[in-house]
């Protein structure tokens, strides 16, 4: 037997799945162990091994691919304990990253945060001004050298960098994507004589050769700041794996929605920042493909946040400009917008007006919902679900954690219902209404802003709190169908296990239509060559490289580009790119509405990219044939649950998820209790179990 093993190491838990070559999935969770995360990772693998009847070594010896997603980069950013970093940039532009285009003070903030003007701040500098060094040099918009770089003059700078004890150097010069020579010379100079144990050096024309110096420099600085610690962690992780008997490949999840080798990830720490959410998206993609569903909304409902991603035509979408800790990152990143709404969101009554509100404050895991009995006294969404009978306080987390229903009741009574003059149940129902609406609003925004209709999407719901809300927000949006994956609680790890190896090479060269297609070909060929060489050097056991070429276009003067696919025949068309421009205009109108494409303004090509995907050997999941349609064996009890506005409870059936089998069909209202989540199916909605043991809910038919 051989296995693919994947671990998603998060702030609280390390989740592990092992998939056998027969397609059988085994999962486990183990607490994370900061700051030595590698221990928690191995513990989680050990748990899975135990469930399979192996020792850790026995499992790892049979593991062909170990795939890993890690929050190590995110943690460094949160704790602000990255490498001591210096930035070398074009003289006169030292402040670009501090000015942050002014908008840095509101970047990534919510509406509520933005209007609280007196509390706005810029990002905490990752490189203090004293370690930002301007270098005499200049390239212009044509890529021509205006001020030559004279390396001989930099001796003084070398001393200053050494005296400051710099551990990482970011190099980002103006227009370097058109002419990288100065950056390359500076890199060689910075690395010269260091014999490999000098500072880590990263240059923008290598990492992110795209136009717009603030975003490019921010990305490069983040990479310098994060990579040394990422590299140390990954090195340690790999050594531990090797020591524990793993001889197969190690692959690391990155933000663009694929994996790369440890070596590659150890040069691009910045690309690990969205490793976790990307895992969930890839799990959705893989499972949706297997189930034949497209397009799909991936919704992750946790304790503090609600995350939404899209899979359209088999691919997750990229974010326009992801922001971390108020810094933009100009690398392709799976788009997973988020709002502060989850099980821990706190309900409150605005004193001046008597309006009921939910969030954005969250009780998180500590002090937690009132019903957890670990210090929280404020009413949360989880408390409301307990009051409404949707969570059984005795069987939460498989009965391992007893909830205090009285505390939940008292919290809502004290803080909400008494003040509003309504019953506790009505107040709880109102809280759920509000939070469900917030979730639906985010989905609506995410879809309609991209010109998409939410009612066309199947909805995947995962994360601990999804089951009780997914039916409601999906129904509000007229979505046809819901999938609650069998592996919902470790879905990110599952996604990492099913990932491809992915690389993206790109370069900006702004040009105006009509285009010289031979110039395009030069770019694509160069990018493809770079991509193939990079992939080969990764040494992962891949097959079937699939390449796709894109040009980011905009109408002249705009900054919002649309990524448009380009095919071989386009380059031979001899039409100055007219065919591709037509394709761009169609995509543009699909996104922004018909009639919005205004060709007379002129069309500009900004960035060329080649995306390469190669598959890792990955077993297909085992599909179980339907058994009996009768779910009675899974029925736990019937108990009263509030389903409406909190005025009356209905006696409804409660099922045990672990006993539901393929072929079972049930009609709501009902609740399913699983080890790690509860699922509420509303009246008339049909629940069925598929061959992978996923829970499926049809929202279309109103048979009930």
Distances (CA, A) of 136 to 142, 173, 179: 18, 10, 16
Span from 164-172, 348-356, 536-544, 657-665 in contact with other proteins (CB under 8 A):
348-356
Phi first, then psi, for residue 160 (nearest 5°) are -65, -40
CB of 409 to other proteins, least distance (A): 19
Is residue 551 within 8 A of residue 607, CB to CB? The reply is yes
Closer residue to other proteins, CB minimum distance, 56 or 440: 440
Span from 7-15, 133-141, 224-232, 304-312 in contact with other proteins (CB under 8 A):
133-141
Interface pick for other proteins out of 374, 420, 587, 659 (rule CB under 8 A): 420
Question: Directed axis angle between helix 72-79 and helix 213-243, to 10°?
Answer: 120
Q: The tokens of 280 are what?
A: 């969930």
Interatomic CA distance for residues 697 and 480, integer angstroms:
9
Closer residue to other proteins, CB minimum distance, 476 or 526: 476
Among positions 538-557, residues that touch other proteins (CB under 8 A) are 555-557
- Residue 156, interface with other proteins (CB under 8 A)? no
CB of 124 to other proteins, least distance (A): 13
Among positions 472-491, residues that touch other proteins (CB under 8 A) are 476
Q: Pick the closest to residue 86 from 140, 129, 25 (CA basis).
A: 129
Q: Is the peptide bond before 673 cis (omega within 30 degrees of 0)?
A: no
Closer residue to other proteins, CB minimum distance, 349 or 659: 349
CA–CA–CA angle 692, 696, 697 (5° rounding): 175
Interface pick for other proteins out of 353, 543, 568, 574 (rule CB under 8 A): 353
Among positions 247-276, residues that touch other proteins (CB under 8 A) are none
- Residue 700, interface with other proteins (CB under 8 A)? no
Span from 57-65, 92-100, 301-309, 648-656 in contact with other proteins (CB under 8 A):
92-100
Closer residue to other proteins, CB minimum distance, 339 or 405: 339
Is residue 371 within 8 A of residue 379, CB to CB? The reply is no
Interface pick for other proteins out of 38, 47, 137, 300 (rule CB under 8 A): 137
Among positions 32-51, residues that touch other proteins (CB under 8 A) are none
Binding marks (x or -) toward other proteins, 422..461, rule CB under 8 A?
x-------xx-xx--xx--x--xx--xx------------
CB of 99 to other proteins, least distance (A): 5
Interatomic CA distance for residues 673 and 704, integer angstroms:
21
Query: DSSP characters for 495-531?
Result: HHHTPPEEEEEEEEEEEESSP-HHHHHHHHHHHHHHH
Among positions 626-665, residues that touch other proteins (CB under 8 A) are none
- Residue 98, interface with other proteins (CB under 8 A)? yes
- Residue 573, interface with other proteins (CB under 8 A)? no
CB atoms inside a 10 Å sphere around CB 584: 27
- Residue 130, interface with other proteins (CB under 8 A)? yes
Is residue 373 within 8 A of residue 405, CB to CB? The reply is no
Closer residue to other proteins, CB minimum distance, 65 or 643: 643
- Residue 394, interface with other proteins (CB under 8 A)? no
Closer residue to other proteins, CB minimum distance, 51 or 444: 444
CB of 608 to other proteins, least distance (A): 16
Identify the sign of the CA torsion 646, 469, 485, 8: negative
Interface pick for other proteins out of 13, 54, 66, 175 (rule CB under 8 A): 175
Q: Which long-range contacts (CB under 8 A, 24 or more apart) does 51-54 make?
A: 51/26, 52/18, 52/26
Element (H, E) at 288: helix 275-291
Contacts of 399 (CB under 8 A, 6+ apart): none
- Residue 150, interface with other proteins (CB under 8 A)? yes
- Residue 155, interface with other proteins (CB under 8 A)? no
Instruction: Look at the block and give the residue holding tokens 């003007």.
Output: 117
- Residue 507, interface with other proteins (CB under 8 A)? no
Interatomic CA distance for residues 530 and 545, integer angstroms:
14
**With the CA atoms of 25, 31, 35 and 41 taken in that order, what torsion angle do they form, in degrees rounded to the nearest 10?**
-20
CB of 414 to other proteins, least distance (A): 16
- Residue 471, interface with other proteins (CB under 8 A)? no
- Residue 620, interface with other proteins (CB under 8 A)? no
Q: The tokens of 431 are what?
A: 């809280």
- Residue 119, interface with other proteins (CB under 8 A)? yes
Closer residue to other proteins, CB minimum distance, 128 or 398: 128
CB of 479 to other proteins, least distance (A): 14
């Amino acid at each position: 037997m051989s296995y693919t093993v994947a671990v998603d190491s998060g702030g609280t838990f390390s989740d592990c799945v092992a998939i056998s070559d027969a397609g059988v999935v085994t999962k486990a969770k183990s607490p994370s162990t900061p700051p030595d995360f590698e221990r928690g990772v191995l513990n989680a693998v050990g748990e899975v091994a135990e469930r399979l009847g192996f020792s850790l070594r026995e499992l790892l010896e049979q593991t062909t691919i170990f795939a890993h997603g890690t929050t190590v980069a995110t943690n460094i950013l949160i704790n602000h304990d990255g490498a001591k970093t210096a930035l070398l940039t074009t003289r006169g532009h030292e402040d670009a990253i501090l000015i942050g285009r002014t908008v840095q003070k509101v970047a990534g903030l919510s509406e509520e945060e933005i209007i609280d003007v007196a509390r706005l701040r810029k990002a905490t500098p990752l490189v203090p001004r004293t370690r930002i060094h301007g270098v005499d040099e200049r390239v212009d918009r044509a890529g021509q050298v205006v001020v030559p770089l004279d390396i001989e003059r930099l001796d003084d700078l070398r001393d200053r960098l050494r005296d400051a004890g710099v551990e990482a150097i970011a190099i980002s010069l103006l227009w370097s994507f058109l002419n990288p020579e100065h950056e390359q010379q500076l890199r060689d100079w910075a690395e010269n004589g260091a014999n490999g144990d000098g500072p880590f050096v990263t240059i923008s024309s290598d990492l992110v050769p795209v136009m717009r110096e603030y975003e490019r420099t921010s990305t490069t600085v983040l990479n310098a700041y994060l990579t040394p610690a990422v590299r140390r962690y990954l090195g340690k992780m790999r050594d531990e794996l090797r020591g524990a008997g793993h001889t197969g490949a190690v692959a690391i999840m990155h933000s663009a929605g694929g994996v790369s080798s440890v070596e590659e990830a150890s040069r691009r720490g910045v690309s690990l920042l969205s490793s976790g959410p990307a895992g969930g998206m890839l799990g959705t993609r893989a499972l949706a493909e297997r189930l034949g569903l497209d397009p799909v909304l991936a919704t992750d409902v946790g304790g503090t946040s609600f995350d939404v991603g899209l899979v359209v035509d088999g691919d997750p979408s990229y974010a326009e400009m992801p922001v971390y800790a108020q810094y933009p990152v100009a690398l392709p990143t799976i788009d997973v917008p988020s709002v502060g709404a989850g099980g821990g969101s706190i309900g409150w009554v605005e004193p001046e007006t008597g309006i009921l509100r939910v969030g954005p404050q969250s009780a998180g895991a500590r002090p937690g919902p009132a019903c957890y009995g670990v210090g929280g006294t404020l009413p949360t969404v989880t408390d409301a679900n307990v009051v409404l009978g949707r969570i059984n306080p005795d069987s939460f987390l498989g009965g391992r954690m007893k909830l205090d229903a009285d505390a939940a009741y008292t919290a809502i009574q004290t803080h909400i219902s008494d003040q509003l003059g309504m019953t506790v149940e009505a107040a709880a129902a109102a809280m759920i209404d509000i939070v469900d609406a917030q979730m639906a609003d985010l989905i609506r925004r995410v879809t309609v802003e991209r010109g998409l209709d939410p009612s066309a999407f199947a909805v995947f719901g995962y994360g601990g709190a999804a089951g009780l809300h997914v039916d409601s927000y999906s129904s509000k949006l007229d979505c046809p169908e819901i999938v609650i994956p069998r592996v919902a609680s470790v879905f990110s790890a599952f996604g990492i296990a099913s990932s491809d190896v992915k690389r993206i090479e790109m370069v900006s060269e702004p040009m105006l239509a009509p285009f010289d297609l031979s110039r395009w070909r030069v770019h694509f060929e160069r990018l493809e060559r770079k991509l193939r060489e990079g992939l080969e050097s990764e040494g992962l056991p891949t097959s079937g490289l699939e390449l796709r070429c894109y040009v980011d276009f905009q109408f002249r003067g705009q900054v919002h580009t649309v990524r448009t696919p380009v095919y071989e025949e386009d380059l031979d068309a001899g039409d100055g790119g007219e065919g591709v421009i037509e394709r761009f205009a169609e995509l543009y109108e699909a996104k922004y509405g018909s009639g919005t494409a205004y060709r007379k303004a002129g069309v500009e090509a900004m960035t060329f990219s080649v995306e390469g995907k190669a598959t890792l050997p990955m077993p297909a999941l085992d599909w179980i044939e339907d058994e009996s349609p009768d779910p009675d064996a899974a029925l736990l009890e019937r108990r009263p649950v509030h389903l409406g506005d909190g005025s009356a409870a209905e006696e409804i059936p409660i099922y045990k998820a672990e006993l539901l089998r393929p072929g079972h069909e049930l009609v709501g209202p009902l609740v399913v209790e699983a080890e790690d989540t509860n699922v509420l199916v509303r009246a008339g909605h049909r629940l069925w179990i598929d061959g992978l043991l996923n829970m499926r809910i049809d929202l279309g038919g109103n048979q009930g």
